[in-house]
Structure 1
Amino acid sequence: MIVTKKALPRRTFLRGLGAAVSLPLLDAMVPAMTAAAETPASPAKLRRLGFVYMPMGCDVARWTPLGETLDELSPTLASLKPVRRHVAAITNLELRNAYPGTHATSNCAFLSAARAKHTESTDYYLGTTVDQVAAKAIGGETPLPSLEMAMDLLSVVGQCDNGYACVYQNNLSWSSPTTPLPAEAHPRIVFERLFGEGGSAADRRAALRRRASLLDAVTDDLARLRGRLGPADRDRVGRYLDTVREVERRIRRAELAAKDGALPDLDRPAGVPASYAEHARLMFDLQALALQGDVTRVITFQLARETSGRTYPEIGVPDSHHPLTHHGNDPAKVARMAKINAFHVSLFAGFLEKLAATPEGDGSLLDHSLYLYGSGMGNPNVHDHTNLPILVAGGAAGRMRGNRHIRFEEPVPLANLHLTLLDKVGVRLDAFADSRGKIDGLFEPISI
């Protein structure tokens, strides 16, 4: 553990055999932080950026809010009610470079707004994605520059969609036009990345097996730390570590259940929760821990792959997702597709509630974060890339104007939104991909 006489540095860890547990922001850290003198609404306080991808578009009629606020939420967005003051829906954004309309280009253009090279081979070419632009600017301040997560096992190679290599729909994040970053779907491996220390992945797994819990390895360091903290900080650390232990317990329970369970479907890795909702909540909880502990400030999360054949019996939809999206305007199929859309949004809404309920500094974890949720496809029945379903969620530190529905009369590049979000986390660019400027009205102006 690293301490000073005056205050704890923000990069304080509890260390033990094979473990390095980061800590949330504490009162004892504030005097040591260079940002401590800034105002609560300073844009420098907003240094976290997340992206959640919903595959295969949506039923626009059930998605789109009716008014200029979210006071009357659409059926698909109804679960956002508890956090609507932190959310803005944006209508009529487009991805011109995703045409001709395919599932592969929907996925890869979502964060790049770039045109994918049409190839089935390894000479693929795209563009650096917005998350990696942010990671290059602010990722050096954290142990992990960025964290790439998914729900599906990415084992498909070769040609996946209309002559496009599978790499385009397997990967949301690209650190360069030729370097896709694979996402991790297994909670245990994500947990090890966040809290393991040193050695190979196999070494860290062996260390975890040698102890009942990761936190057992840092008991001595934790005891020394508690002696230096005030009551409020001791309580804050205790609640944070209780959450770490609970997440670890849920991962272990899923692994034990998988040993004797039936084989998972092709989209789900072995050793993860059998329930899609439990798996997704676990992955969202890992994101919350990563942000709270300042392990990373840039996250991407793919809720499912494009063309996913996953079924959702837990919400009464036994049909495969992808065939439902080619519904031919059959009302029953559209309704079942919309039920999946609403289910995905509800999982994101629960995550936002958790961030909003997690105190940090002069606000909440959500106050100091920005998340973009959406899809690279609009109406999946015709594979278009306009009128995309897009949400932005965040808090007061960035002067986010929530409870709003921003509706453009003419299509506006999604890249405009990417440029706007980069600007809010301190990354100043003149343009990003095919952007034509920033989006006005999403944030309150900052008084100088």
Structure 2
Amino acid sequence: MNDARLLRINRRCLLRAAGVSVTLPPMASLDSCLGNSQQQPTSSMKMVCIGNSFGMYPEEFFPKAGGPDYELPRLLEPLKPHRRGFTVFSHLDHGIKGGHFAVHSFLSGVKTDEARSMPDGMLSLDQRAAEHVGSRSRFPSLTLGSDSGLHGGCRMCWTRSGARVPPITNPKALFQKLFVDGDAKDRAHAQQQFQLRGSILDAVCGEAQSMQKHLDGRDKAKLDEYFSSIRDVEKKLQQDENWRTVAKPTVEYPEPEMKGIVEDLPVLFDLIVLALQTNSTRVATLEISSEHFDTGFLGLKAGYHAISHHGKKPETIEQLLTIEQYQMEQLARFLSKLKSVTADDASGALFDSTMVLFGSGMGNGNAHTNTNLPILLAGGGFQHGEHKIYPAGRNVPLSNLYLSMLQRFGVETDSFSKSTGTLRGLEVV
């Protein structure tokens, strides 16, 4: 067994020590032995996660039959050109309840009140992947969507400490963040702000550490959470500093204007493609919240939330399907875009190296249930083209799919959230 292989095994053993999963910091000696460089990604894989507030109408999302020869239901019909490039899953969920509040656990598998008992806290799938990327992309992750409230909102992205990752709320702000460099005055101001934030952080850490010896057990636990938040800020500051002097990429795309989440949806998808193509990020999340969702653009009068409570009325169900079909049409357009452009490493279409997860933490918006979540995975080099039906009532964890995605992304871990292993039946081409 060569030294590089031995180092990889030893690293994985350390990850499992004491029954917890811990990602080791980058080590030059390990990277050298493994033939990696800290400046180069260990993988070109990307990840995009898309979720909404109220799930999808089950009768028109899940195919009636399993396997590869199912008949496309209405909500999957827009994806017909990509039929062999995605997989639909039945009977995957997180085994939790809570209606609207459980929606926010879509990417973490964890509710707020149980986060403390979890090894990784409230950490969501996208942020676990972002930790793996680190500063190798200008933005370890991008979160897009409405700055929504809890009820009827779609909060999907969480740090280990349980802090929500705030979204970029409009395409104009996203475009400027990705592709617009400030002038000399702006850069000088940014450097001044960086130094100021760093000095404030140093002072706060020093004061908090001196306080620790006077606290009881409960307050020490609170302080530990505080230190965890501080570490999140420190990592962000360091990542900002690493990229501060590197010019942003230029793209042939007009700077967009803010119109509203519904009308902006195709533009946001376009910008995600550009962000991935330029390697500005390798992880992006889009939260399609019911708040600020202008149903009038689709010719409807009632709001998304009100329509989701359809009471089994055919006319209201039809309105709900109009909203959901629009989302699927934009997803289909996004997948077509990924297929039409080349990956940054020129290895092939961007679609083949991008995992696209679509779903929700809500299984049935009318009944407020969080079981049998509507889950679809496209791209990423997996063997697709099927409707995979897992045993009902057996609670196959959705986190098993997430673990498979993380391993495909290059993360060396044997667990995520409440996973019991990788997802059976999901193979790589």
Question: TM > 0.5 between the two?
Answer: yes
Mark the runs of 5 or more structure 1 residues left unpaired by the alignment: 1-33, 36-42, 119-124, 207-239, 255-271
Farther off after superposition, 287-296 or 400-409 = 400-409
Within-5 A mapping of 1:398-409: 398=381, 400-409=382-391
1:415 counterpart = 2:411: no
CA change 1:363–1:303 in 2 (3 A) is same
1:201-220 matches, cutoff 5 A: 203=186
* Alpha-carbon offset, residue 89 of structure 1: 0.7
Worse-superposed segment, 188-197 or 416-425 = 188-197
1:55 — aligned with what? 53
**Aligned ranges for residues 115-194 of structure 1 at < 5 Å?**
115-117=111-113, 127-150=122-145, 152-154=146-148, 156=149, 160-161=150-151, 169=153, 171-194=155-178
Q: Deviations over 1:162-197 (max 9, x none)?
A: xxxx9xx46321122332110011212111211233
Q: Give, in whole Å, the separation in 1 of the partners of 2:412 and 2:368.
A: 33
- Partner residue of 2:297 out of 314, 320, 323: 314
**Residue-by-residue CA offset, 1:374-407 (whole Å, 9 max, x unaligned):** 0101011121111111110114xx3x11211111
> SS of the residue aligned with 2:91?
strand
Distance 2:108 2:354 in 1: 21
Cα distance in 2 between the residues matched to 1:283 and 1:291: 12
Q: Which amino acid aligns with 1:345?
A: M
**Corresponding residue number in structure 2 for 1:331:** 314
Give the Cα separation in 2 of the matches to 1:45 and 1:356.
19
From 296, 307, 324, give the equivalent of 1:341.
Answer: 324
Give CA-to-partner distance per residue, 1:394-440, whole Å, 9 cap, x none: 14xx3x11211111123311111111100101112222111111112
- For residue 45 of structure 1, report the CA deviation from its aligned partner: 4.6
User: Which residue of 107, 129, 139 corresponds with 1:111?
Assistant: 107
1:215-254: per-residue Cα shift (whole Å, max 9, x none)?
xxxxxxxxxxxxxxxxxxxxxxxxx96xx33332xx1xx3
State TM-score, norm by structure 2: 0.69
Does structure 2 conserve the Cα–Cα contact (< 8 Å) formed by 1:86 and 1:403? yes
Identity fraction in percent: 31
1:378 matched to 2:378? The reply is: no
Inter-partner Cα distance in structure 1 for 2:175 and 2:302? 32
Q: Is the CA contact 1:71–1:403 (under 8 Å) kept in the aligned structure 2?
A: no
Take 1:429 and 1:362, find their aligned partners in 2: how far apart are those partners? 26
- Contact 2:52–2:154 (Cα < 8 Å) also in 1: no
The amino acid of 1:113's aligned partner reads G
- Kindly indicate whether residue 85 of structure 2 is the aligned counterpart of residue 89 of structure 1: no
Q: What's the secondary structure of 1:174's corresponding residue?
A: coil
| Deviation per residue, 1:17-45 (Å, 9 max, x gap) | xxxxxxxxxxxxxxxxx89xxxxxxx965
In the alignment, the residues of structure 1 paired with residue 361 and residue 69 of structure 2 have an alpha-carbon distance, to the nearest angstrom, of: 22
Which residue in 2 is equivalent to 1:388?
A: 373
Measured in 2, the distance between the counterparts of 1:203 and 1:83 equals: 44
Aligned residue for 1:117, secondary structure, equals: helix
Contact 1:46/1:424 (CA < 8 Å) preserved in 2? no
Aligned residues: 324
Kindly indicate which of the two structures has a greater share of residues assigned to strand: 1
Q: Distance in 1 between matches of 2:57 and 2:353?
A: 31
Residue of structure 2 in register with 1:40 after alignment? none
Determine which structure has the larger helix proportion and give its number: 2
Q: 1:170 to 1:65 in 2, by over 3 A?
A: closer
Partner Cα separation in structure 2 for residue 69 and residue 247 of structure 1: 40
Q: Which runs of 5+ in 2 are unaligned?
A: 1-34, 115-119, 190-248
Distance 1:58 1:170, change over 3 A: closer
Residue 231 of structure 2 corresponds to which residue in structure 1? none
Instruction: Sort the Cα spacing of 1:46 and 1:405 in 2 relative to 1 into closer, same or farther, 3 A.
Output: farther
Q: Tell me, in whole angstroms, the C-alpha distance in 2 between the residues paired with 1:424 and 1:44.
A: 12
SS in 2 for 1:112: coil
Letter aligned with residue 102 of structure 1: G
What does residue range 214-293 of structure 1 map to in structure 2 within 5 Å?
244-248=251-255, 251=256, 254=257, 272-273=258-259, 276-293=261-278
TM superposition shift of 1:140 = 2.4
| Residues in 2 aligned to 1:45 and 1:146: alpha-carbon distance in whole angstroms | 15
Contact 2:144 2:168 in 1 (8 A): yes
What's the offset of the Cα at 1:297?
A: 0.4
Q: Tell me, in whole angstroms, the C-alpha distance in 2 between the residues paired with 1:54 and 1:313.
A: 18
Paired residues of 1:115 and 1:126 also in contact (CA < 8 A): no
* Cα RMSD after superposing both structures: 3.0
Kept in 2: contact 1:76–1:339 (CA 8 A): no
Deviations 1:296-355 (A, max 9, x none): 1011111224xx363423333322111111122222212221221111111111001000
Amino acid at match of 1:332: E
**Would the aligned equivalents of 1:277 and 1:347 in 2 still touch at CA under 8 Å?**
no
Residues 76 and 428 of structure 1, relative CA distance in 2, 3 Å threshold: same
* Secondary structure of 2:377's aligned partner: strand
The letter of the residue matching 2:53 is P
TM-score (norm 1): 0.66
- Distance in 2 between residues matched to 1:432 and 1:199, nearest whole Å: 43
User: In 2 relative to 1, CA 176–56 (structure 1 residues): closer, same or farther, beyond 3 Å?
Assistant: same
- Within 1, Cα distance between the matches of 2:305 and 2:262? 18
SS at match of 1:273: coil
| Alignment correspondent of 1:296 | 281
